[in-house]
C-alpha cells in the first residue's frame, strides 16, 4: 500500500537553537501507514513550494504558544514563550497546503495556530482568562483520559469515531477563543471550549486540542485520527 509522505513541523528549542521531535508524532503516523519527515523552519518560498509539492500531507505539531500578534492581540504577562520562527514558517506552509488542497492535521498548538492564522483568536492562558474545573494541563502519564469532549453531530470526526462522547488526554494552557471564519467546531469540552475543528471547504483540514501522539498505542480513536490523515493523503 502506498505510504503517503507527511511533512511534520518540528518543535524548536530556542536555548539550544535546535529542532527536535516527540517520537509519538512519527510513530503514530507510521502506525497509520505514513512515511513522516521533519520539515525545516524556513520562510524561503522556493523551498516551501518544493516541500508542499513533495509531501502528500502535513502535521502541525505542539510546542510554544502562538504569538498574540498573529491574531491582533496584545501579549499578556501570562502568555508563554512564543517561537517567531515557527509562526512565520507555518503561516507560509499552511497557505501553500490550503492552496494545493493538501491534507492537514493540527495537534495542540496545531489547532491554536490554525485558528489564529485563519482569523480567529485564542485564550492566552485558560486559568487567567477562562477559568474551569476541567483538567486541561494534566500530569504524566499522558496515555490516559482526563476529561471528555462531545463530538458534534454532522462532523467528519463524529462520523469517523462513531461516538458522541470521547475521553481525551489534555496538556495545554491556551485554547481557541473566537473561531476563525472557514472553520467549524467538531468537538467541545465539558466546559464549552472548542477542542476540535475542521474546514468543510477543504479536502481534509482537521485539528484537535488533545494529544493522539501520546495515546495511539492504547486508544483506538487516537490511531483512527492518524489513519484519517493517511487515507486523505493517498492519491
Q: Provide CB contacts within 8 A for 206, sequence distance 6+.
A: 104, 105, 106, 156, 157, 186, 196, 197, 198, 225, 228, 229
pLDDT of 14 strictly over 90 = no
Q: What are the two backbone dihedrals, phi and then psi, of residue 32, each rounded to the nearest 5 degrees?
A: -90, 0
What are the catalytic residues? 108, 211, 213
pLDDT of residue 170: 97
pLDDT of 168 strictly over 90 = yes
Q: What are the two backbone dihedrals, phi and then psi, of residue 84, each rounded to the nearest 5 degrees?
A: -55, -35
Percent of the chain predicted with pLDDT > 90: 96
Percent of the chain predicted with pLDDT > 70: 100
* Number of Cβ within a 10 Å radius of residue 108: 23
**Cα separation of 229 and 235, whole Å?**
12
Long-range contact pairs involving 70-78 (C-beta distance under 8 Å, separation at least 24): 70/113, 70/116, 70/117, 71/116, 71/119, 71/120, 71/121, 71/122, 72/121, 73/121, 73/122, 73/124, 75/124, 76/124, 76/125, 76/128, 78/124, 78/125, 78/127, 78/128
Whether the CB-CB separation of 150 and 164 falls below 8 Å is answered with yes
| Confidence label for 11 from pLDDT (cuts 50, 70 and 90) | very high
pLDDT tens-digit map of 96-148: 999 999 999 999 999 999 999 999 999 999 999 998 889 999 999 999 999 99
Q: Provide CB contacts within 8 A for 52, sequence distance 6+.
A: 93, 96, 97, 100, 102
| Confidence label for 222 from pLDDT (cuts 50, 70 and 90) | very high
User: What is the pLDDT of the chain when averaged over all its residues?
Assistant: 97
* Number of Cβ within a 10 Å radius of residue 12: 18
Q: Looking at residues 195-220, what average pLDDT do you find?
A: 98
| Confidence label for 205 from pLDDT (cuts 50, 70 and 90) | very high
pTM: 0.97
| Confidence label for 214 from pLDDT (cuts 50, 70 and 90) | very high
**Cα separation of 139 and 152, whole Å?**
27
Q: What are the two backbone dihedrals, phi and then psi, of residue 141, each rounded to the nearest 5 degrees?
A: -80, 155
| Confidence label for 89 from pLDDT (cuts 50, 70 and 90) | very high
Does the domain made of 5-233 have the CATH classification 3.40.718.10? no
Helix axes 84-99, 45-54, angle to 10 degrees: 50
pLDDT of 1 strictly over 90 = no
pLDDT of residue 29: 98
Amino acid at each position: 500500500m502506498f505510504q503517503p509522505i507527511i511533512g511534520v513541523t518540528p518543535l524548536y528549542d530556542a536555548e539550544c537553537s535546535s529542532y527536535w521531535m516527540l517520537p509519538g508524532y512519527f510513530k503514530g503516523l507510521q502506525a497509520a501507514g505514513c512515511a513522516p519527515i521533519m520539515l525545516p523552519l524556513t520562510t524561503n518560498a522556493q523551498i516551501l513550494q518544493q516541500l508542499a509539492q513533495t509531501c502528500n500531507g502535513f502535521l502541525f505539531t505542539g510546542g510554544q504558544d502562538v504569538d498574540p500578534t498573529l491574531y491582533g492581540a496584545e501579549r499578556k504577562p501570562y502568555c508563554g514563550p512564543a517561537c517567531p520562527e515557527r509562526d512565520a514558517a507555518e503561516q507560509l506552509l499552511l497557505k501553500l497546503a490550503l492552496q494545493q488542497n493538501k491534507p492537514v492535521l493540527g495537534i495542540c498548538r496545531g489547532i491554536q495556530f490554525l485558528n489564529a492564522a485563519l482569523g480567529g483568536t485564542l485564550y492566552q492562558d485558560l486559568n487567567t482568562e477562562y477559568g474551569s474545573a476541567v483538567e486541561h494541563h494534566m500530569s504524566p502519564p499522558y496515555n490516559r483520559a482526563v476529561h471528555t469532549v462531545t463530538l458534534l453531530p454532522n462532523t467528519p470526526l463524529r462520523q469517523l469515531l462513531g461516538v458522541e462522547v470521547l475521553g481525551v488526554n489534555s496538556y495545554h494552557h491556551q485554547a481557541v477563543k473566537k473561531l476563525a471564519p472557514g472553520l467549524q467546531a467538531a468537538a467541545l469540552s465539558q466546559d464549552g471550549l472548542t477542542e476540535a475543528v475542521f474546514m468543510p471547504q477543504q479536502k481534509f483540514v482537521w485539528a484537535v486540542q488533545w494529544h493522539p501522539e501520546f495515546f495511539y498505542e492504547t486508544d483506538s480513536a487516537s490511531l483512527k485520527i492518524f489513519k484519517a490523515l493517511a487515507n486523505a493523503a493517498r492519491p
